[in-house]
Amino acid sequence: MGNIILFSLIAGLASALVLIPFSNKKTKEKDSNKSNSASLIAAIILTIFVVFSFYYLTNLDLNITSLWFLAILVTLGGAFFASGKERMIKALLFLVSLIIGGYFLTAFLFNAEEKYATAKMEEKMEIEIFDEKETPASVPPQFARNKMRKAFGQVPNTSYYELGNLQIQKINGDYVYIAPVEFSGLFKWVNGKKTPGYFTISATNSSANPKFINTEMFYTPSSYFNKNLERHIRMQYPKHIFYGEPRLEIDEDGKPHYIRTFGQFVSARNGFVVKGIVLVDPQSGDTKEYLLKNVPSFIDGAVSPEAVSLQNSYFGKYVHGFWNSVFGKRDVKLPSDEGTVANVSPIFDENGDMHYFTDFTSPKEGVDSMLGYSLTNSRTGEATYYTGNLQESYMDSQGALQIIEKKFIEKKWEGEMPVIYNFYGEASWLTPVLDSNGFLQNYFIVSAANPEISAYGNTPNEALKLYKTALQRGGGTVDGSSKAEEKQVIGTVIRVYKEKSGDFTVVTFLLDNKNSYVISSESSPMAIYLQEGDKVKVDYLDTGEAFMPAKNIIIQGLQ
């Protein structure tokens, strides 16, 4: 509190000295001095009150550059009330403050290349192939939130509180959604003083039920006055530049912590570059600052999703500067707004590291082809841009949602949280499907390059198995998962089933080892001649499924 009072006092004193005219008047000098003194004191008190109220309510940083707009108003008023040489001096001050204000207001016209440089990403073609033995964290947030609301009766004094912002996190190896319990208003805070805890629910198992964890928190986003979390952080770090909402993070012992991302302006109070976080104990109010490289291991979302979304916009828009983003738009790509939080979707990779996913599309209206997609590490801020196979045209997230809407048009189901994966070497959209009440109905997978190839199931893994079959029937190739071992078997064909699919034939066959295999004539053209009693040598992927994908087949006597 001392910082904001001192800042307001200095700003008020400086403003009053500029506002009050000190030029000699025709009135008696004694009366003039009394009038000037009274006006000076009144101006100081009023300005201090206005400045203090503004910064206390807005939690704006207490850097002197944040006073640029006040400086314009004060110097304009000072020049207006002054006369003679004093007016000339204060008019000059007004001109200087006006130039500084203009510099701040127009900085976005000139720092676009700097913004692009801060957001530049490493480029690759495709993400790693997804391990089909794993389960993607694909429970949609809206569904998880609905479940938490239905379990809200577990909260003591329920009428005081409401459910806070939902976010995903990895805790003790499990992917879970967490949401704090927040105050529902000022009077509820006056009566309650503290919030009772937070909810958790699995992010991979849609049948799991939410759990309420009882732990008192005094410093929260919904508290008021000096117990308000953002204000408490501002009091401790008056000059820090923050971007994004505070987020709850749970350590391995179940203890809650709030974090907030800070950084610096690109230039002239414009743009933002992440530098670290401030960690707050919501029980004691203790705070600690960490640079990104030193962030505690239990924190998954050190970089705020809002900051990632901003960096994505820099990367997509400013590749050739600001004016190109407005007029020519050469090489411009727009980040999607289909993310679950701040236009990005948090997902986890095969190593358990969280990333923010965003796909990019063309600025041209009516085009639903994807130009690429990005994954940004949520702890380090390092980002990679994936171009996809440049020889194919990938459908963007909006196109995937439109397919789902048409697929279930009679039931009025809709997709939420589309995320692209590399399933069996095929870029594919995985999207949870919800009904009009927000309840999860199934998981839909569709090929980004071949939208006619799709499948859906009650779980992600069930949908994945059906999708593999759909790929083979659709003439696609199945390259397997990152962990499926490639093996070879020699045997005699007992049963054969052939099915025409487009320009190719999908052949399913049973060997005398009692295992079944499936292969497309696209990858092995001679498979169309396969018949019962043939002796064959098969290269396949040991996925452990009922019908294992074959990569090649050699029929004795034909090859």
| Contact criterion met (CB below 8 Å) for 516 and 507 | no
Give φ, ψ of 464 to 5 degrees: -65, -40
**Rounded-to-integer distance, Cα 216 and Cα 161, Å:** 13
Structure tokens at 360: 């990019």
Secondary structure (3-state) at 77: helix
Dihedral sign computed on CA atoms, order 298, 304, 307, 313: positive
Q: What's the per-residue H, E or C state across 228-272?
A: EHHHHHHHHCCCCEECCCCEEEECCCCCEEEEEEEEECCECCECC
* Residue 550 DSSP one-character state: E
| Dist. CA 422–CA 391, nearest whole Å | 16
Global confidence as pTM: 0.85
- Supply the pLDDT for residue 477: 53
Tokens of 140: 């949609």
Count how many Cα atoms sit within 13 Å of the Cα of residue 305 in the half-sphere of its side chain: 23
> Which residue carries 């939130």 as its tokens?
145
φ/ψ of 89, rounded to 5, equals -65, -45
Per-residue pLDDT of the chain (559 residues; tens, 9 = 90+): 788 999 999 998 899 889 888 765 544 455 555 666 777 788 788 889 999 999 999 999 999 999 999 999 999 999 998 888 999 999 999 999 999 999 999 999 999 999 999 999 999 998 888 877 777 778 999 999 999 999 999 999 999 999 999 999 999 999 999 999 999 999 999 999 999 999 999 998 889 999 999 999 999 999 999 999 999 999 999 999 999 999 999 999 999 999 999 999 999 999 999 999 999 999 999 999 999 999 999 999 999 999 999 999 999 999 999 999 999 999 999 999 889 999 999 998 878 899 999 999 998 877 778 999 999 999 999 999 999 887 788 999 999 999 999 999 989 999 999 999 988 888 999 999 999 988 999 999 999 998 988 998 888 888 888 888 788 666 555 554 445 678 999 999 999 999 876 667 889 999 999 999 988 887 788 999 999 999 999 998 887 777 888 888 999 988 6
pLDDT number for residue 322: 96
CA distance 326 to 332: 10
Token pair listed for 362? 């063309």
Report CA-CA distances (Å) from 141 to 146, 251, 541, 547: 9, 21, 34, 33
Superfamily of domain 486-555: Nucleic acid-binding proteins (2.40.50.140)
What gap in Å lies between CA 273 and CA 81, rounded to an integer? 42
Q: Are 445 and 430 in contact (CB under 8 A)?
A: yes
Phi and psi (nearest 5°) for 100? -65, -45
In the chain, residues under CATH classification 2.40.50.140 are 486-555
Short-list 476, 382, 465, 499, CA closest to 121: 382
Residue at 479: amino acid letter: D
Q: How high is the pLDDT of residue 416?
A: 92
Tell which residue, 458, 456, 343, 437, has the closest CA to residue 142. Answer: 437
pLDDT for the residue 484: 64
> Amino acid identity of 270?
N
Q: Round to the nearest angstrom and report the end-to-end CA distance of the chain.
A: 84
